[in-house]
Amino acid sequence: MLKNIKYTLILPQTQLKQRLDQALKQYFTNHSRSCIKKWILNECILLNGNIIKKPKKKYQEVKS
């Protein structure tokens, strides 16, 4: 049985313009980048409420 697990991360400004898969790897140290890539490709990652479909996507600062 698969479990749905939800994490909420606030990435620091020092990681702005970094690839999302690389930034997430720093927080999910027990998982490989290829595993994180699969999460992204399977549309399991939301960034600012939007599904991210490309692991190489660089994220930007949220503008209020």
H-state helical runs in 19-59: 20-25, 33-41
Q: Which of the pair, 42 or 3, is modelled with greater confidence?
A: 42
Q: What pLDDT is recorded for position 62?
A: 46
pTM flag (> 0.75): no
Domain locations along the chain: 15-51
For the segment 6-61, what is each residue's pLDDT rounded down to a tens digit?
Answer: 788 877 878 778 888 888 998 899 999 999 999 889 888 888 788 888 888 777 64
A 10 A CB-CB count for 52 gives 19
* Residue keyed to tokens 């697990």: 5
For 14, 26, 46, the CA distances from 38, given in Å and listed in that order, are 25, 16, 13
Return the structure tokens found at 12: 């620091």
